[in-house]
Amino acid sequence: MKEQLNSIRFNAEKELENISSIQELENVRIKYLGKKGELTSVLRGMGALSAEERPVIGQLANEIRGYLEEKIDNVKQVLVKKEKQEKLQQEVIDVTMPGKRRSLGKKHPLSIVLDEIKDIFIGMGFEIAEGPEVELDYYNFEALNIPKNHPARDTQDTFYINENIVLRTQTSPVQIRTMENKKPPIRVISPGRVYRSDAVDATHSPVFHQIEGLVVDKNVTMGDLKGTLEVFAKRLYGEDAKVRFRPHHFPFTEPSAEMDVSCFVCGGSGCRVCKGEGWIEILGSGMVHPKVLKICGIDPEEYSGFAFGMGLERIVMRRFDIDDLRLFFENDMRFLKQF
């Protein structure tokens, strides 16, 4: 039995010399020291020994167990260190490697100009207001003093969801919603999508964008309208830009005017962009109709206001010399990459 024990020690030691992984080490441990291991089964046979032999063999077996346990532990520590080192080596990061180039997205041309326009008005103390694109007929027409028989309500222009609900044809309903929810002084612009039942071509799209503006306070005059919009035009087109106002008609303003800007390409002498006119029409505007103020619960005797509305696509098309509106909505990278 003594010999058996010694040969267990000898064999185990030998195997431990050639271990290269923690898993292998564990296998060796189980093989010799495990519950069904070789050392254990020798100890089980001790019952057959005489009373004198038993303590001698028992002591030897325990010595060998202790010895092997220590050995295994040492080998284990070496292995753990080695595996850690290897792992670190594999995970080494070469900080001098060139980075992977990510392709950067770009702002859509409509967003480029819209952001500029927003900044200009925010700089003048305006806030941004929003309203729903699926709108009540009341806000889109009725409250804006657009009576039932007005041509703007013609089903040719308006997408009706049902008798009372439309896709908004203009951003002007946000005026009404703002005045309903806020007391003057009011200074807001409201950019957003609008819808009209137009056939698609180079200058028409059933969806496009408008930017609405509204100012309501005590003593707001046509002079404030002209001054504000002139500053806006100069910030957008440069200090040399000139503006002119032409009388016009909108149901929700009185008086109403359209504003032209001197052509930013030829400066007014006439060219292809302004079609020889020297002037480019950029927005509709006017003093908020007293009826509209009243409908929103604002006393027209105490307050007055001006409003304006412009189409974003046309402004952007002229800015970048884009000749087809459809390009804005096709998301063709070759087009979008140019801005």
Instruction: State the residues that interact with ligand DAH by CB under 6 A.
Output: 170, 172, 212, 250, 253, 284-286, 307-309
Distances (CA, A) of 136 to 22, 187, 236: 74, 23, 33
Pairing of strands 207-217, 186-195: antiparallel
CB of 119 to ligand DAH, least distance (A): 20
CB of 311 to ligand DAH, least distance (A): 8
Q: What is the number of helices (H) and of strands (E) in the chain?
A: 12, 9
Pick between residue 25 and residue 194 the one whose CB is nearest to ligand DAH. 194
Pick between residue 146 and residue 322 the one whose CB is nearest to ligand DAH. 146
Catalogue the E-assigned strands of 100-239.
127-128, 134-136, 165-167, 186-195, 207-217
Query: If DSSP codes are grouped into helix, strand and coil, which group holds residue 201?
Result: strand
- Amino acid, single-letter form, for residue 185: P
Any idea what DSSP says for residue 82?
H
Give yes or no for a contact between 238 and 264, defined as CB atoms under 8 angstroms apart: yes
CB of 200 to ligand DAH, least distance (A): 19
CB of 174 to ligand DAH, least distance (A): 9
CB of 122 to ligand DAH, least distance (A): 18
Pick between residue 33 and residue 144 the one whose CB is nearest to ligand DAH. 144
Pick between residue 110 and residue 287 the one whose CB is nearest to ligand DAH. 287
Pick between residue 242 and residue 248 the one whose CB is nearest to ligand DAH. 248
CB of 212 to ligand DAH, least distance (A): 5
CA dist 38 and 79 (Å) reads: 24
Pick between residue 37 and residue 286 the one whose CB is nearest to ligand DAH. 286
Q: Is 77 exposed, middle or buried (0-12, 13-18, 19+ CB in 10 A)?
A: exposed
Closest-approach residue to ligand DAH (CB): 309
CA dist 302 and 226 (Å) reads: 21
Pick between residue 5 and residue 189 the one whose CB is nearest to ligand DAH. 189
- φ, ψ for residue 185, nearest 5 deg: -75, 135
CB of 171 to ligand DAH, least distance (A): 7
